[in-house]
């Protein structure tokens, strides 16, 4: 006979309780939510089972600071001794889940009211308490009150208790690390965060009014007003640009169609700042209980300017119920939200262009970034987005009227003033494309609209400079070249500018890489690659030092054409022109070079002062 090699697992219950209670949940506040949920489910079980029209469910929470005890009481169905043994003391078995499954076969509406699912919720009491005492009286006829006690080890104690009315009271001997629940204001904020929409009243310390709303704003008599009030209360935003109310929707899944139950709202805040205050997130509720906030995956990726609240009973929470499983239902909700949001924004774009402009212009950077990725969305916003220019904010249609179809832009703030000056000298506004999303947006626009040209000023400004015969400027150019300065003559506006210093596009990167290589900060192979890269870009090392463009249209330069550079005053002027151009360019100068430039300026001025 073959020997049975199987062996049973053994459980160390205190260790298991500790792991489940302390590590299943990431936040101790969740313990309050779980216990309120148990109280709520108990009330719903009584309402479903009794059918008593006069039954008024409620939850009462009291703080006893002297004893360091928090108590949570409900007037729900209570528990019998058998139910305590079968459910409360059996980890992973959920009374509510089994009841919902039974009810689901008869009444899906009643089943959907129940929240509990995993049978772990009561363990959360040990997040907050070192000892837990539960006093309960079942609504079942002939039941007696019971008292259940546990300190989180492998044993619990059950003795006769005292309670006049059916229901359950849980007393928590609060741990020092959870003492925040004994502060009334903090406790009220926790309740409002997790149980604001729970449809039974929750009272704290005998206050005459419940602390929770008991219903979401979309179920109010005036949902528009209630939603605006809720946005101000929950999101601290008093003037959303628009609000989109969610509804049940039939979703086409390709192979099938399904109705997704959906409630809640989405809204567009007045403004956002890319990379600092992007939105694109929602708070998620399941059967009225808060699950998580800042959920980003439910919204379409382009909707980083949208916030909101989503309530869907078919979403599946994780065991800790602090996040959502990304399953088929999750995908259905994603599709439903994207369809409804897209329809609403398209309607606003068509019917309310003033609001649509406010939306696009209030979230320009975020919207441009996602418009580049989404062709349909791009077409919705392309002509409305405003760009930062040297003449203020302009849409592209407004801009191209000033430039005859060309988009002049600079990609970095560093040195951009010089390029803006050149362009404005030709009566051309300059687009500030230093934000990471602007250049791809401009490139996509140029490929989308026939006749649009892109002109990057900080890559090549030569189109704004007219070549000239350099003969008349030989003395000036010769002086600079004799001092190791690359110099050329050109004509450009404005004519008051005597000279500009132009650098290759990647000069800062190259200089930093070279400095790192010379300091031994780069491995030899990488240092070699840097050298090869530079050699491939430039014909001579002098190019990295920049080129001084002397302005042939400048009256001062014209006066200097016949002057001898050997004259001390003329030389002082030429040095000033050069160093001012370097400083104005604000590129490719380290601290030592800037100090030297200012020193030269001071020396030149001293020569000119009598």
According to DSSP, the β-strands at 69-74 and 59-64 are antiparallel
| Mean pLDDT to the nearest integer, 466-485 | 89
Estimate the share of the chain in helix, then strand, then coil, as percent rounded to the nearest 5. Answer: 45, 20, 40
| Mean pLDDT to the nearest integer, 315-325 | 78
Q: Which of 62-66, 173-177, 426-430 has the lowest mean pLDDT?
A: 426-430
Instruction: Give the C-alpha distances (Å, rounded to integers) separating 362 from 68, 146, 354.
Output: 49, 60, 12
The alpha helices in 13-137, defined as continuous H runs, are 13-23, 30-50, 81-83, 95-104, 108-112, 125-128
pLDDT category, 583, cuts 50, 70, 90?
Answer: confident
Asked whether residue 3 carries a pLDDT value surpassing 80, the answer given is no
Q: How many CB atoms lie within 10 A of CB 566?
A: 9
Q: Which CATH architecture has domain 465-503+546-608?
A: Up-down Bundle (1.20)
C-alpha span between 363 and 53 (Å, rounded): 51
pLDDT at residue number 15 = 57
pLDDT at residue number 106 = 37
| Mean pLDDT to the nearest integer, 85-113 | 46
Asked whether residue 597 carries a pLDDT value surpassing 70, the answer given is yes
Written out in words, the top-level CATH class of the domain with range 14-204 is: alpha beta
- The answer to whether the beta carbons of residues 99 and 110 sit under 8 Å apart is no
pLDDT at residue number 223 = 95
What lies within 8 Å, CB to CB, of 64 at 6+ separation is: 70, 71
Q: Using one digit for the tens of pLDDT, what is the confidence trace for 334-367? A: 989 998 998 998 899 889 989 998 898 888 888 8
pLDDT category, 93, cuts 50, 70, 90?
Answer: very low
Asked whether residue 489 carries a pLDDT value surpassing 70, the answer given is yes
pLDDT at residue number 6 = 65
Element (H, E) at 405: none
| Mean pLDDT to the nearest integer, 396-424 | 75
- The answer to whether the beta carbons of residues 133 and 64 sit under 8 Å apart is no
pLDDT category, 23, cuts 50, 70, 90?
Answer: low
Asked whether residue 7 carries a pLDDT value surpassing 80, the answer given is no
pLDDT at residue number 61 = 97
- The answer to whether the beta carbons of residues 458 and 505 sit under 8 Å apart is yes
Q: Using one digit for the tens of pLDDT, what is the confidence trace for 195-250? A: 999 999 999 999 999 999 999 999 999 999 999 999 998 899 989 999 999 999 88
Instruction: Give the C-alpha distances (Å, rounded to integers) separating 42 from 46, 54, 90.
Output: 6, 17, 17
pLDDT category, 458, cuts 50, 70, 90?
Answer: low
Name the residue with higher pLDDT: 208 or 125: 208
User: Could you tell me the pTM of the whole model?
Assistant: 0.66
Asked whether residue 113 carries a pLDDT value surpassing 60, the answer given is no
Asked whether residue 19 carries a pLDDT value surpassing 70, the answer given is no
pLDDT category, 606, cuts 50, 70, 90?
Answer: confident
pLDDT category, 168, cuts 50, 70, 90?
Answer: very high
Name the residue with higher pLDDT: 562 or 540: 562
pLDDT at residue number 250 = 83
C-alpha span between 393 and 358 (Å, rounded): 13
Residue 176 DSSP symbol: G
Q: Which of 162-166, 498-502, 556-560 has the lowest mean pLDDT?
A: 498-502
- The answer to whether the beta carbons of residues 551 and 500 sit under 8 Å apart is yes
Instruction: Give the C-alpha distances (Å, rounded to integers) separating 568 from 20, 360, 427, 573, 604.
Output: 86, 59, 37, 9, 9
pLDDT category, 419, cuts 50, 70, 90?
Answer: low
pLDDT category, 414, cuts 50, 70, 90?
Answer: very low
pLDDT category, 495, cuts 50, 70, 90?
Answer: confident
| Mean pLDDT to the nearest integer, 529-539 | 58
Q: Using one digit for the tens of pLDDT, what is the confidence trace for 246-293? A: 999 887 766 677 788 999 999 999 876 544 456 889 999 988 889 888
Asked whether residue 460 carries a pLDDT value surpassing 70, the answer given is no
pLDDT at residue number 115 = 36
C-alpha span between 236 and 570 (Å, rounded): 65
Highest mean pLDDT: which range of 8-12, 19-23, 163-167, 381-385: 163-167
What average pLDDT does the structure give for the chain?
A: 81
Element (H, E) at 402: helix 396-403
Asked whether residue 14 carries a pLDDT value surpassing 80, the answer given is no
Closest by CA position to 598, among listed 581, 584, 579, 585: 579
| Mean pLDDT to the nearest integer, 112-123 | 44
pLDDT at residue number 94 = 40
Written out in words, the top-level CATH class of the domain with range 217-318+325-342 is: alpha beta
pLDDT at residue number 404 = 80
pLDDT category, 178, cuts 50, 70, 90?
Answer: very high
Asked whether residue 100 carries a pLDDT value surpassing 50, the answer given is no
pLDDT at residue number 83 = 86
pLDDT at residue number 517 = 61
Highest mean pLDDT: which range of 93-102, 456-465, 521-530: 456-465
Q: Using one digit for the tens of pLDDT, what is the confidence trace for 127-142? A: 899 899 999 999 998 8
Q: What is the CA radius of gyration of the chain?
A: 36
């Amino acid at each position: 006979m073959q020997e049975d090699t199987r062996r049973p697992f053994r459980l160390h219950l205190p260790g298991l309780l500790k792991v489940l209670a302390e590590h299943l949940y990431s936040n101790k506040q969740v313990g309050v939510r779980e216990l309120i949920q148990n109280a709520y489910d108990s009330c719903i079980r009584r309402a479903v089972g009794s059918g008593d029209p006069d039954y008024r469910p409620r939850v009462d929470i009291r703080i006893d600071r002297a004893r360091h005890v928090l108590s949570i009481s409900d007037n729900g169905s209570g528990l019998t001794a058998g139910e305590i043994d079968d459910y409360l003391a059996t980890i992973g078995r959920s009374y509510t889940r089994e009841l919902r499954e039974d009810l689901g076969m008869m009444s899906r509406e009643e089943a959907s009211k129940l929240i509990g699912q995993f049978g772990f919720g009561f363990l959360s009491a040990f997040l907050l308490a070192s000892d837990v005492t539960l006093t309960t009286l079942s609504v079942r006829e002939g039941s007696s009150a019971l008292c259940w006690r546990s300190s989180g080890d492998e044993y619990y104690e059950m003795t006769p208790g005292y309670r006049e009315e059916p229901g359950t009271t849980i007393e928590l001997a609060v741990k020092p690390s959870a003492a925040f629940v004994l502060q009334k204001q903090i406790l009220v904020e926790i309740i409002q965060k997790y149980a604001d929409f729970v449809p039974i009243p929750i009272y704290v310390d005998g206050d005459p009014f419940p602390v929770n709303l008991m219903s979401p704003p979309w179920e109010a008599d005036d949902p528009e007003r209630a939603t605006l009030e809720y946005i101000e209360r929950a999101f601290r935003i008093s003037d959303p640009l628009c609000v989109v109310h969610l509804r049940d929707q039939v979703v086409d899944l390709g192979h099938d169609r399904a109705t997704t139950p959906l409630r809640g709202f989405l809204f567009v805040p007045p403004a956002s700042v890319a990379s600092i205050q992007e939105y694109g997130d929602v708070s998620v509720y399941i059967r009225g209980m808060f699950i998580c906030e800042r959920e980003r995956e439910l919204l379409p990726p382009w909707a980083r300017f949208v916030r909101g609240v989503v309530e869907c009973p078919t979403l599946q929470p994780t065991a800790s119920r602090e996040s959502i499983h990304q399953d088929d239902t999750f995908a259905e909700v994603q599709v439903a939200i994207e369809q409804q949001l897209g329809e609403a924004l398209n309607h606003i774009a068509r019917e309310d262009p003033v609001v649509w402009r406010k939306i696009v212009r209030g979230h320009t950077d975020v919207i441009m970034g996602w418009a580049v990725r989404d062709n349909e969305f791009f077409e919705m916003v392309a002509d409305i987005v405003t760009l930062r220019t040297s003449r203020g904010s302009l849409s592209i249609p407004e801009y191209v009227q000033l430039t005859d179809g060309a988009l002049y832009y600079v990609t970095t703030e560093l040195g951009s003033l010089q390029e803006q000056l050149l362009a404005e000298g030709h009566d051309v506004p300059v687009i500030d494309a230093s934000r990471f999303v602007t250049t791809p947006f401009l490139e996509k626009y140029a490929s989308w609209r026939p006749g649009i040209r892109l002109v990057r000023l900080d890559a090549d400004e030569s189109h704004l400079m007219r070549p000239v015969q350099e003969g008349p400027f030989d003395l000036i150019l010769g002086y600079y070249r004799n001092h190791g300065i690359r110099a050329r003559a050109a004509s450009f506006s404005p004519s008051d500018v005597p000279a500009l210093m132009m650098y290759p596009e990647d000069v800062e990167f190259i200089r930093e890489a070279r400095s790192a290589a010379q300091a031994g900060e780069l491995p030899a192979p990488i240092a070699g690659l840097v050298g090869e890269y530079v050699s491939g870009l430039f014909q001579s090392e002098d190019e990295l030092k920049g080129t001084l463009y002397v302005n042939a249209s400048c009256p001062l330069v014209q006066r200097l054409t016949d002057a001898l550079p050997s004259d001390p005053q003329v030389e002082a002027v030429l040095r000033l022109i050069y160093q001012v151009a370097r400083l104005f360019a604000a590129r490719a100068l380290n601290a030592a070079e800037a100090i030297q430039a200012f020193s030269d300026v001071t020396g030149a001025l001293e020569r000119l002062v009598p």
